[in-house]
Structure 1
């Protein structure tokens, strides 16, 4: 795979003309079709959007906070869904979710774990979920502006 062109956003390498967007969509379909895969949906979307510079600065800060809460502070996904529903009612939303042309450029990061790593582990729900969680942990650790917790 090393001879294939890399994704300009995340650095993932794909064979046979694949790309991150098409693989992301395929994994989303898998997550929606099988709840055993879907339990990591928040991580899948968050990591893809972060690594491809798609979130607005406000949305990225919110997602970073929620990743930290789930991965490091023990927040359950059901609790996250409840919080997100309360915080982001359509009539209450004031910030854009997607990055606009006016937003500052996204810093380039050499991501240690990418969507290509996750896609390679999609054979079983167990291996897929473990790899998505590893992706989320690595992404959070490498995110620009992550404040290190003093434990």
Structure 2
């Protein structure tokens, strides 16, 4: 479920949120699955390794068990890293769509479009908030054009 759909947002903003969601949905699903699997895997493996070392020390008979837990921990860390990489890709795809959408606008003046695009490029994490500000500005200007 989209967290912004819970709040009362205007339909013109919700439409854009839905378009962005469709573009990044497969990546979000994959990233959340990786994160969901990686955290328990890491915690389980590291906890068991610590328990083994504190209770028994290092015995030659335990090397297979230690190797298995270490492999699980490594897999969990790799999944966590992949999840973080996918989050960066989601942010990039979202901001790329936002910038293209801003460029396509015929209502907002070019100097304002450049301002919004520069803000998104300077602070990519806040790109969505900037995009909402852009959409509100676009709506305000389109309402002004109707009355003029």
State TM-score, norm by structure 2.
Answer: 0.28
Higher normalized contact order (CA 8 Å, seq sep 6+, divided by chain length): 1
Structure with higher Rg: it is 2
